Homo-oligomer: A and B are copies of this chain.
Amino acid sequence: MDAAKARQVADQSVGLLVDAWNAHDADAFAQAFNDDAEFTNVFGMTAFGRDEIGQFHAPIFQTMFSESTLEALDIRTKTIRGDVIAVDVHWAMRGARDPHGAPWPERRGLMSLVCTNDGEHWGIATMHNLDLPDTAMAQAQEVLQST
């Protein structure tokens, strides 16, 4: 698959996720996933299958994330097979609250997807999400690696 096609697939899946997130619509969010997909959040909690992914998000779209907005900052693709693509998405989120109810300062993170084509449609097979720490840790590690 050429890079432009892979990018088109990635943009479609990421667009579905971002639009559903910003509408706080758990059903629409789940529709981006395959029937047997696996979703793992930043705390290492996993939901198995599209239905469970929807059920996982419905209550938190009414609470911690009810006023949150998600933005995709950067999308990178890696073609694994003609019908399998890995996608990395750097993102920013504003307006969230953490699970204890405290305001969650602007978050930066990285979601990694494996998207597959079943012969007719592309969908997400696995997603993992990661909160990035402040950039001071990465910068300090870069110093260690450059000496």
Binding site for B on A (CB under 8 A): 38, 40-46, 56, 59-60, 63-64, 78, 80-81, 83-84, 86, 88, 90, 98-100, 110, 112, 114, 116, 125-126, 128, 130-133, 135-145, 147
Task: Decide: A144 and B86 in contact? CB cutoff 8 A.
Answer: no
Who on chain B is nearest to A88 by CB?
B40
Given contacts A59-B147, A99-B140, contact A128 B128 (CB under 8 A): yes
Task: Decide: A125 and B59 in contact? CB cutoff 8 A.
Answer: no
Contacts of A46 in B (CB 8 A): 88
Q: Please list the 10 inter-chain residue pairs (A to B) with the smallest Cβ-Cβ separation, ordered nearest first.
A: A99-B140, A43-B138, A99-B141, A44-B132, A130-B130, A112-B128, A59-B145, A86-B126, A63-B144, A44-B110
Who on chain B is nearest to A131 by CB?
B133
Task: Decide: B64 and A86 in contact? CB cutoff 8 A.
Answer: no
Given contacts A110-B40, A144-B99, contact A138 B45 (CB under 8 A): yes
Task: Decide: A80 and B116 in contact? CB cutoff 8 A.
Answer: yes
Who on chain B is nearest to A56 by CB?
B145
Task: Decide: A141 and B44 in contact? CB cutoff 8 A.
Answer: no
Contacts of A63 in B (CB 8 A): 144
Who on chain B is nearest to A146 by CB?
B59
Task: Decide: A42 and B130 in contact? CB cutoff 8 A.
Answer: yes
